[in-house]
């Protein structure tokens, strides 16, 4: 017996990475989330996926910068293939695309819960991993609209 066809992409495994966020101690801008591979080499930064805060990402509170931090970090963790809107390709930041949430397929209920659960409690410097984020995501939202995504061991 064959399995039914679906329109969903095949499950993927993404390499585990470590996210290290650092901001100025006074909280006034300058927030940066660096991405390190499993060997500890810097491989990039998390892009600010602006929706709530034109001033950028931030953490340690539950405001607009923290909301953008949560959606930006989740988008990086699940990868562009699953995060970016297939209609506007992530370019709609004005809310005109009817298929997404300012360019991303991550619903507010998801990134807001991530914000309140983790981001709001982070100190000036934080560290987390893709594995931790994806573990939380798949545990909290097992029926979300993306297929199985996991971090490589």
Mean pLDDT by 10 residues, the chain (153 residues): 46 84 69 94 92 89 94 90 81 78 83 95 95 89 62 53
Kindly state whether residue 133 falls inside one of the protein's structural domains: yes
Kindly state whether residue 3 falls inside one of the protein's structural domains: no
Q: What is the model's pLDDT at position 131?
A: 92
Q: How many residues does the chain have?
A: 153
Kindly state whether residue 152 falls inside one of the protein's structural domains: no
Q: What is the model's pLDDT at position 3?
A: 43
Kindly state whether residue 1 falls inside one of the protein's structural domains: no
Domain ranges, residue 111: 14-141
64-78 vs 108-117: helix axis angle to the nearest 10?
Answer: 110
Kindly state whether residue 46 falls inside one of the protein's structural domains: yes
- Do residues 66 and 120 touch, judged by C-beta distance below 8 A? yes
Q: What is the model's pLDDT at position 40?
A: 96
Q: Positive or negative CA dihedral for 48, 11, 35, 112?
A: positive
Kindly state whether residue 39 falls inside one of the protein's structural domains: yes
Kindly state whether residue 68 falls inside one of the protein's structural domains: yes
Tens-digit pLDDT profile for residues 97-134: 887 788 787 888 889 999 999 999 999 999 999 999 98
State the total domains in the chain: 1
72, 111, 136, 143 from 140: Cα distances, Å: 18, 11, 6, 9
Kindly state whether residue 148 falls inside one of the protein's structural domains: no
């Amino acid at each position: 017996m064959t399995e039914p066809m679906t329109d969903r992409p095949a499950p993927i495994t993404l390499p585990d990475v470590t996210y290290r966020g650092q901001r100025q101690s006074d909280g006034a801008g300058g927030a940066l989330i660096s991405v390190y591979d499993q060997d500890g080499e810097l491989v990039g930064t998390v892009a600010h996926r602006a929706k709530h805060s034109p001033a950028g990402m931030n953490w340690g509170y539950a405001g607009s910068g923290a909301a953008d931090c949560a959606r930006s970090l989740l988008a990086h963790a699940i990868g562009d293939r699953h995060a970016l809107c297939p209609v506007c390709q992530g370019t709609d930041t004005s809310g005109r695309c009817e298929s997404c949430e300012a360019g991303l397929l991550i619903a507010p209920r998801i990134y807001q819960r991530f914000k309140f659960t983790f981001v709001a409690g982070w100190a000036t410097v934080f560290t987390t991993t893709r594995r931790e984020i994806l573990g939380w995501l798949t545990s909290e939202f097992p029926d979300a609209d993306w297929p199985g995504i996991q971090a490589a061991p």
